Every structure is written in structure tokens, then in C-alpha cells.
């Protein structure tokens, strides 16, 4: 922002020309509109442009750019680092751009830039056509995809970016361009896991896959059996077919109706699984994960995929204070397992969780069209999810999570999944590896020379 007069002129122009709404700090709805999923993020954008359509996006970007104002973009607002909002920037809010169109014949979904995963999943459900989406359905398609996008279908069909055919992007000068393998291929490279977009994506086009029911659910065991369960998971995952995708959660047991109430709130190990292949075969394949040890609950069975996609939603309500750290691992060795189990046993926070998810399968295979995403050599990723409803508890939660993250570092790879990084991890592009980072920096400079969408990187 150059001067207060300039700011006033920009806001006047936006107010007059936007078809959508411009919210400023003086407006009654501004305090609510600046909130994100993570309540720990408390930032004050100069204004919020709630765009009515893609034309509005182009207009807002052009006006802000003419006045030299930096921009942020909000899709689903789920990013735990709060990358969609910044003090003194204009926030482009895409919450009205949620339309999804399914071309069932070509198996392609065209998804507007502000859609959430349940918008796409529900539209696809009418045709039994889906693509890899987030584990919690209120996550934005936008941020999720730009960061790679891991989900239950990834080992069979790849990450969200591996299913992205093309995107429509509003550049900082207000131009609309197509990014795909054939058009603006460098931009397309950066959009797929590059840790930030040098423009606003107003439309994503995804490849879809036919799918009806999956064999999915959870098996719960006491925390005392978590080390053994994690080792079984590790050995199972190492040889599992691509149709399997699994996640291990160490947490306090939620009050699930199928879990004996005496276990509610006590630390447990939850083995979550999804099999997206032929169901009878899946029963046989998943059996080793379900047998053995003290099984407190086994809630695994055939369910419509879209139902499974919504199964975790209740565990991730908005409005809590969140602090996450993430690591990628080449393997899951016993010392790393012990660290995670020991932390959960001693953890003072009943809301925090540790997630260990297996990658591999299609994720490990380099796509035909190169992408900036660089964690394909990781076999697992571990998310340390620090959560508390109370702001005054956040510093303690944060310190605990940081300490665990440091202790895990000797077991971790240098690359990470951009979607789970925190603000103190810096620009995700710096964790892509030297060659990818250099390429992404050059692409950002070319498409966003003023650094309106992101402050210029050092290298
Ligand atoms: C409860 C929960 C569950 C999650 N589960 C998964 C999971 O299963 N797999 C996974 O990979 N990740 C997962 N994530 C992480 C999530 O994918 C990232 O936090 C992602 O950034 C969220 O995208 P969003 O659009 O909701 O967020 P936002 O905060 O709105 O945006 C995140 C970033 O993307 C940019 N952005 C968003 N939309 C656009 C657009 N249309 N054009 C240009 N830039 C845009 C924003 O500017 C910002 O930099 C989860 C997060 C939460 C909170």
C-alpha cells in the first residue's frame, strides 16, 4: 500500500465496481468475515472483496495491482498457517464461487475456485464419479489442490494435482489465462504443489474416476497397544495394493456410539482404512489390520464413498486454536513409533492428535507432466496436530508440538507436504528441494513480478 490516499481511492473504486461485496473494518460483518477455520489466526486485511464471479476476481486483482496493494486469496479458509489472510492486504474471498459441473461422458469436473470438497463430492456422487479429495469435506478444493492434495484415493489415482487437467487463472495484471500441460505449462508446474499461486485460480478441471462403495472404517485399540498396531500398519502398508489407503491416529477417543462409553476420552490408537477396489477382495486384504490385540471397536464395512468422505467432519470443527507441524518419513522405524506413542501417553491436551499416513502407490510415481510437488519419495507423513479450544493454552500446546517435531527430525526427510506446513516453516517453496524451488521462484517472478500474491523469495 503506497499511501492512505491511494488506499481510499482503491477502496472507493472497488466498492463502486464490484458486483459482489466489499467489507471494510468499519462494517458490522467484517469481524466475522475475517475469521478462518483456525481461531489462532487473527489478522486484519485492509478489506475483503467477496467476489460474485470470475469477472469480479479479475476486477479486484486489477484494481489492487494498479494501486500496488498486496493480495491474498481465500478458498475454504482451512489453511492452518492462515496463508489466505494477511494484515494490510486485500483479501479476495471466493466463497461465492462454488459451482461444480460434471461432464459424466468425459469424466471431467469443472470446479470453481472457492468450492469445498463436499461440493465436488456431492456433484460427483450423482454420477458415481470422484477424484482424490480431502479427509474433511469442508476443506477448500483450491488450497488443497495447490498444495498437492492427499486423500483416500491417492494411492490408486494419485494426488489431487495428478488428476488436475487444467486451471483458469487470473494473473496480477487482471488477465485470464489457461494453465495446463499445453498452455502456460510453467505456470501449471508451479500450481501443482509449488506452495503458492502467482494468481487466483477461478476454475480447476479434474479427471474423475468411477467409484461407488468402498470398504472403510476404523478399528480402535487402547494406547497401550499403539506401538504394536503401528508396526503392523507399517509392515502391512509396505506391501499393500494401491487400492488400500490407511491412516493411524493417536488421540483421546471421541464419544463414538459404537465405542464402549468407559473408553470415551481415554487415549487410544485408531486405525482408519479405506479400500477402493473390489469389496470382497478388500475384506481379505484388510484382515491383518483388524485382527489381533484388544480391539475396542471394529467399525469397518462397505459404505458409499461419499459417506466415508464425510465421516471425519465432526472431528474438525472450526473455531479451535490450532498449531500443527508436519514431517515426511522414508520409513517408520521403531524409535519414531516410540516417540509418538510416548508423547500421546504424556500429552496434557485431550484435543491434540497425531496422524501417521501412508503414501506410496500412485503418489510415488512421477506424473507424465512434471509438477513442483516434491515429496514423492516419502513413504509416510506424520502430522502433529496441536489443538485447544482455549487461546491461553495455545503457547503450551505449541511448545509441546514443537518439541516433538524436533525429536522426530532425525527420522524425517527434508521435503514436506506444503498443505500441512505452518507459518513458522516459512514459504513452502523453500522446502521443495533446490531445483524445484529455483524453478518455482523463476515462475513466480515471471507471472507476478511485483510479488503481489507473495512477498518475493530470497533466493
Ligand atoms: C481439518 C483439515 C483437514 C485437512 N485434510 C487434508 C487432507 O486430507 N489432505 C490434504 O492434502 N490437506 C488437508 N488439509 C490441509 C489443507 O489442504 C490445506 O490447509 C489447504 O491449504 C486448505 O485449502 P483451503 O482452500 O481450505 O484454504 P485457504 O486457507 O483458503 O487457502 C490456502 C492457500 O491456498 C490459496 N488458495 C486457495 N484457493 C485458491 C484459489 N482458488 N486460487 C489461488 N490461491 C488459492 C490461499 O491463498 C492460501 O495460500 C486439511 C486441513 C484441515 C484444516
- Contact between 368 and 380 under an 8 Å Cβ cutoff? The reply is no
Query: 213-425 adopts what CATH topology?
Result: Vanillyl-alcohol Oxidase; Chain A, domain 3 (3.40.462)
Q: At a CB cut-off of 8 Å and minimum separation 6, what does 183 contact?
A: 166, 177
User: Cell match 524453478: residue?
Assistant: 439
Residue nearest to atom 51 of ligand 1 (CA): 78
> What's CA 425's distance to the chain center, in Å?
16
- Cβ within 8 Å of residue 325, ≥6 positions away: 383, 384, 386, 401, 402, 404, 405, 422, 425
Burial of 292 (0-12, 13-18, 19+ CB in 10 A): middle
Beta strands in 359-432 (DSSP E): 380-388
Compute the residue count for the chain. Answer: 459
Q: How far is the CA of 260 from the centre of ligand 1 (A)?
A: 35
How many angstroms separate the alpha carbon of residue 204 from the centre of ligand 1?
A: 14
Top-confidence residue, 457 or 221: 221
Q: What is the mean pLDDT of the chain?
A: 95
Residues enclosing ligand 1, CB less than 6 A? 37, 72-80, 83-84, 94, 113, 134-136, 139-140, 142-144, 146-151, 196-197, 200-201, 316, 419-420
Domains of the chain, by residue range, sit at 4-93, 100-210+429-447, 213-425
Mutate to test the pocket of ligand 1, among 95, 134, 325 (most ligand atoms within 8 A of CB): 134
Beginning with the edge strand found earlier in the chain, give each strand of the sheet holding 47-50 in spatial order.
21-23, 47-50, 90-93, 71-74
In this predicted model, which residue has the larger pLDDT, 1 or 448?
A: 448
Q: Among residues of the chain, what percentage have pLDDT more than 90?
A: 92
Q: What per-residue confidence (pLDDT) applies to 2?
A: 61
pLDDT at res. 458: 42
The closest-lying atom of ligand 1 relative to the alpha carbon of residue 453 is 47
Q: How many CB atoms lie within 10 A of CB 262?
A: 9
d(CA 138, ligand 1 centre) in Å:
10
pLDDT at residue 456 greater than cutoff 70: no
Give me ligand 1 centre to Cα 147, in Å. Answer: 7
CA-closest residue to ligand 1 atom 32: 143
Which pLDDT belongs to residue 407? 97
Condensed to tens digits (0 to 9), the pLDDT of residues 27-78 reads 999 999 999 999 999 999 999 999 999 999 999 999 999 999 999 999 999 9
CATH 3.30.43.10 fits 4-93, yes or no: yes
From 60, 146, 157, 318, mutation site for ligand 1 pocket: most ligand atoms within 8 A of C-beta: 146
More confident of the two residues 19 and 314: 19
Quickly list DSSP for 359-378.
--GGGGSPPSS--S---TT-
Q: Which residues contact 116 (CB under 8 A, 6 or more apart)?
A: 76, 98, 137, 138, 139, 140, 141
User: Could you confirm whether domain 100-210+429-447 is CATH 3.90.600.10?
Assistant: no
Q: Note the pLDDT tens digit of each residue in 161-200.
A: 999 999 999 999 999 999 999 999 999 999 999 988 999 9
The pLDDT of residue 355 is 98
The greatest distance separating any two alpha carbons of the chain, rounded to the nearest whole angstrom, comes to: 70
pLDDT tens, residue by residue, 202-214: 999 999 999 999 9
Q: Which pLDDT belongs to residue 455?
A: 57
Task: State the pLDDT at residue 457.
Answer: 44
Indicate which residue's Cα is closest to atom 7 of ligand 1.
Answer: 134
Strand order in the sheet with 380-388: 297-304, 213-222, 267-275, 244-252, 353-358, 380-388, 321-329
* Cα 292 to ligand 1 centroid, rounded to whole Å: 37
Task: Give Cβ neighbours of residue 432 (< 8 Å, ≥ 6 apart).
Answer: 193, 194, 195, 372, 373, 374, 415, 418, 440
The alpha carbon of 214 and the centre of ligand 1 are apart by a number of angstroms equal to 25
Q: Which residues pair with 210 in a beta bridge?
A: 129
Q: Is a pLDDT exceeding 70 seen at residue 257? A: yes
CB atoms within 10 A of CB 304: 15
Encode pLDDT of 109-160 as tens digits.
999 999 999 999 999 999 999 999 999 999 999 999 999 999 999 999 999 9
pLDDT digits (tens, 9 = 90+) for 267-313: 999 999 999 999 999 999 999 999 989 999 999 999 999 999 999 99
Q: Could you tell me where the DSSP H helices lie in 183-273?
A: 185-191, 226-239
Contact predicate 169/191, CB 8 Å: yes
Instruction: Give phi and psi for 72, each to the nearest 5.
Output: -130, 160
Cα separation, 448 vs 7, in Å, equals 21
Rounded Cα distance, 82 and 204, in Å: 22
Per-residue confidence (pLDDT) for residue 157, from 0 to 100: 98
Residue 445 confidence (pLDDT): 93
What is the share, in percent, of the chain residues with pLDDT greater than 70? 98
Amino acid at each position: 500500500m503506497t499511501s492512505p490516499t491511494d488506499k481510499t481511492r482503491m477502496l472507493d473504486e472497488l466498492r463502486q465496481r464490484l458486483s459482489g461485496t466489499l467489507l471494510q473494518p468499519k462494517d458490522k460483518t467484517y469481524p466475522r468475515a475475517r475469521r478462518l477455520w483456525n481461531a489462532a489466526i487473527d489478522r486484519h486485511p485492509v478489506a475483503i472483496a467477496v467476489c460474485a464471479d470470475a469477472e469480479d476476481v479479475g476486477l479486484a486483482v486489477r484494481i489492487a495491482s494498479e494501486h500496488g496493494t498486496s493480495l491474498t486469496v481465500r478458498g475454504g479458509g482451512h489453511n492452518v498457517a492462515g496463508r489466505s489472510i494477511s494484515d494490510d492486504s486485500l483479501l479476495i474471498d471466493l466463497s461465492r464461487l462454488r459451482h461444480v459441473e460434471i461432464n459424466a461422458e468425459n469424466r471431467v469436473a469443472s470446479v470453481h475456485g472457492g468450492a469445498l470438497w463436499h461440493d465436488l463430492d456431492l456433484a460427483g456422487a450423482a454420477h458415481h464419479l470422484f477424484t482424490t479429495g480431502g479427509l474433511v469435506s469442508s476443506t477448500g478444493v483450491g488450497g488443497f489442490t495447490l498444495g498437492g492434495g492427499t486423500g483416500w484415493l491417492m494411492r490408486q489415482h494419485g494426488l489431487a494435482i495428478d488428476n488436475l487437467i487444467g486451471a483458469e487463472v487470473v494473473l496480477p495484471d487482471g488477465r485470464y489465462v489457461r494453465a495446463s500441460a499445453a498452455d502456460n505449462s510453467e505456470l501449471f508446474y508451479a500450481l501443482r504443489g509449488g506452495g503458492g499461486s502467482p494468481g487466483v485460480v477461478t476454475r480447476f478441471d479434474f479427471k474423475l474416476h468411477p467409484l461407488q462403495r468402498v470398504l472403510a472404517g476404523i478399528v480402535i485399540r487402547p494406547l497401550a497397544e499403539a506401538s504394536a498396531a503401528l508396526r503392523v500398519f507399517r509392515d502391512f502398508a509396505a506391501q499393500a495394493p494401491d487400492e488400500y489407503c490407511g491412516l493411524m491416529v493417536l488421540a483421546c477417543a471421541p464419544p463414538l456410539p459404537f465405542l464402549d462409553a468407559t473408553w470415551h476420552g481415554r487415549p487410544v490408537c485408531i486405525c482408519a482404512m479405506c479400500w477402493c477396489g473390489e469389496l470382497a477382495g478388500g475384506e481379505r486384504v484388510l484382515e491383518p489390520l483388524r485382527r489381533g490385540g484388544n480391539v475396542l471397536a471394529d467399525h469397518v464395512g462397505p459404505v458409499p464413498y461419499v459417506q466415508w468422505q464425510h465421516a471425519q467432519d465432526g472431528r474438525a470443527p472450526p473455531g479451535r486454536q490450532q498449531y500443527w507441524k508436519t514431517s515426511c518419513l522414508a520409513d517408520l522405524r521403531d524409535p519414531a513409533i516410540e516417540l509418538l506413542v510416548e508423547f500421546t501417553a504424556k500429552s496434557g491436551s485431550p484435543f491434540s492428535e497425531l496422524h501417521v499416513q501412508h503414501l506410496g502407490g500412485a503418489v510415488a510415481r512421477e506424473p507424465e507432466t512434471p509438477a513442483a510437488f516434491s515429496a514423492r519419495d516419502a513413504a509416510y507423513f506424520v502430522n502433529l496436530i496441536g489443538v485447544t479450544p482455549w487461546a491461553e493454552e495455545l503457547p503450551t500446546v505449541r511448545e509441546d508440538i514443537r518439541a516433538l517435531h524436533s525429536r522426530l527430525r532425525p527420522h524425517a526427510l527434508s521435503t514436506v507436504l506444503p498443505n500441512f506446513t505452518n507459518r513458522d516453516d516459512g514459504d513452502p517453496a523453500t522446502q521443495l528441494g533446490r531445483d524445484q524451488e529455483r524453478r518455482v521462484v523463476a515462475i513466480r517472478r515471471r507471472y507476478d513480478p511485483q510479488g503481489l500474491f507473495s512477498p518475493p523469495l530470497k533466493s
